[in-house]
Amino acid sequence: MDGGSSHHARPNPGLSAGKRVPVYSAAQLIEKQQLKWNSVKEKPYPAMYSSYFGGIILDPSMMVLPIDDHMVHRGHGVFDTAVILNGYLYELDTHLDRFLNSASKAKISSPFPKETLKSILIQTTAASKCRRGSLRYWLSAGPGDFLLSSSGCPEPAFYAVVIADNFSQRKEGVKVVTATTPMKPPIFATMKNVNYLPNVLAIIEAEEKGAFASVWVDDNGHIAEGPNVNVAFISNKKELLLPTFDNILTGCTAKRLLALAPKLVEKGLLKGVETRNITVDEAKNSAEMMYVGSTLPLLPIIEWDGKPVGNGKVGELTLALSDLLWDDMIAGPERIFVPYEDDDALQQSKL
């Protein structure tokens, strides 16, 4: 039985039609990659860290991870981010806490304690020389044996990339649509894992409709979130309203907004600040609407499903809240100094 015979097997038209696929050595691949990147004026990413390699990589040709990493082929990885602004990392601790919480829910352990992760992220940012952009990092179940269970993945992996981005405060309004792509079940929506295909299809759907992004509404008819940002509203009574975080990701910037917004209540600009269930009807009758996310930090929304939000113009309270967040990013207490080498030299020269 176990010998097999060829006479029943199909002919192989693909092979005769196709051309010969070359086999490359590692040295040839590195040379090919370096030739390619040397011809590119600006490198795509100034630095990567990989626990698999045990160090920082500045050469884009090795900003890679193993194909058998459980994050690659099974989506068994979590991620988080932090903004780099004027040479400081903003809210890194808050993001790292959420990151480790996501990892725990996804049954991924960390190869390092939090303080070491933090040190690696700061050193990677310093090595990148990047002073404005974002830092993205992942914990993965690690390389293994391609099986579904991660029991064959001996070591979890930690990766980080610095992404240069000359972002600034967003003051122009955008259009949004309600998503028809289904939302993830709450357990998966509340942990920041790389299973973002629903989010990707939701933003592609919006782009196809000429919108910037989409808004998910849950099965109960309550506002949920955008594809990778939170949403917030200013009611007609001048309250700042955000959906509760029960079934959606707890946005770090959204939390910070909730912490800072009472300053506008003190000034008499806002009447209140609240997180609660928000129906579509209530949301569509808001005075102002905005996306909330770390690199925005607030993005005014002026049109939703083809109809103006409020008076159809960028909201004044949205901009006031945006200023509060931006000031906090620029000069607030949640920033960590990045010891770039130039700074090191500068500091040492002062000793």
Active site (catalytic) residues: 192
β-bridge pairing 213-215 and 230-234: unpaired
Candidates 107, 267, 307, 350; binder of a second copy (CB under 8 A) is 107
Looking at residue 228, what DSSP letter applies? S
Question: Contacts with a second copy in 136-175 (CB under 8 A)?
Answer: 136, 138, 141, 145-146, 148-151, 159, 161, 163
What are the C-alpha distances in Å from 250 to residues 111, 189, 263, 266? 24, 9, 22, 25
Q: Which is nearer to a second copy, 17 or 351 (CB)?
A: 17
Q: Which is nearer to a second copy, 45 or 245 (CB)?
A: 45
Taking CB under 8 A as the rule, does residue 320 contact a second copy? no
Candidate ranges 200-208, 230-238, 251-259, 298-306; the one touching a second copy (CB under 8 A): 200-208
Instruction: Determine the Cα–Cα distance for residues 301 and 311; give it in Å rounded to an integer.
Output: 11
Site residue total, a second copy (CB under 8 A): 116
Taking CB under 8 A as the rule, does residue 17 contact a second copy? yes
Taking CB under 8 A as the rule, does residue 347 contact a second copy? no
Tell me: cis bond preceding 22? Omega within 30 of 0 counts.
Answer: no
| 233 to 272: interface string for a second copy, x by CB under 8 A | ----------------------------------------
Instruction: Supply the minimum distance, in Å, between the C-beta of residue 232 and a second copy.
Output: 19
Taking CB under 8 A as the rule, does residue 24 contact a second copy? yes
Instruction: Determine the Cα–Cα distance for residues 272 and 283; give it in Å rounded to an integer.
Output: 16
Instruction: Supply the minimum distance, in Å, between the C-beta of residue 274 and a second copy.
Output: 28
Tell whether the torsion through CA atoms of 147, 151, 154 and 157 is positive or negative: positive
Instruction: Determine the Cα–Cα distance for residues 320 and 318; give it in Å rounded to an integer.
Output: 6
Amino acid at 89: L
Taking CB under 8 A as the rule, does residue 334 contact a second copy? yes
Closest listed residue to residue 150, CA positions, set 78, 62, 54: 78
Taking CB under 8 A as the rule, does residue 124 contact a second copy? yes
Instruction: Determine the Cα–Cα distance for residues 184 and 198; give it in Å rounded to an integer.
Output: 7
Q: Which is nearer to a second copy, 151 or 311 (CB)?
A: 151
Instruction: Supply the minimum distance, in Å, between the C-beta of residue 135 and a second copy.
Output: 11
Instruction: Supply the minimum distance, in Å, between the C-beta of residue 22 and a second copy.
Output: 4
Q: Which two tokens stand for residue 143?
A: 């390389």
Candidates 129, 277, 332, 340; binder of a second copy (CB under 8 A) is 332
Q: Which is nearer to a second copy, 22 or 268 (CB)?
A: 22
Q: Which is nearer to a second copy, 30 or 280 (CB)?
A: 30
Instruction: Supply the minimum distance, in Å, between the C-beta of residue 231 and a second copy.
Output: 15
Candidate ranges 29-37, 171-179, 247-255, 296-304; the one touching a second copy (CB under 8 A): 29-37
Tell whether the torsion through CA atoms of 198, 200, 206 and 211 is positive or negative: positive
Instruction: Determine the Cα–Cα distance for residues 264 and 324; give it in Å rounded to an integer.
Output: 9
Candidates 174, 265, 280, 336; binder of a second copy (CB under 8 A) is 336
Candidates 122, 258, 265, 319; binder of a second copy (CB under 8 A) is 122
Return the residue matching tokens 């909730």: 258
Residue 296 phi/psi, 5° resolution? -85, -50
β-bridge pairing 272-275 and 157-164: unpaired
β-bridge pairing 47-50 and 288-292: unpaired
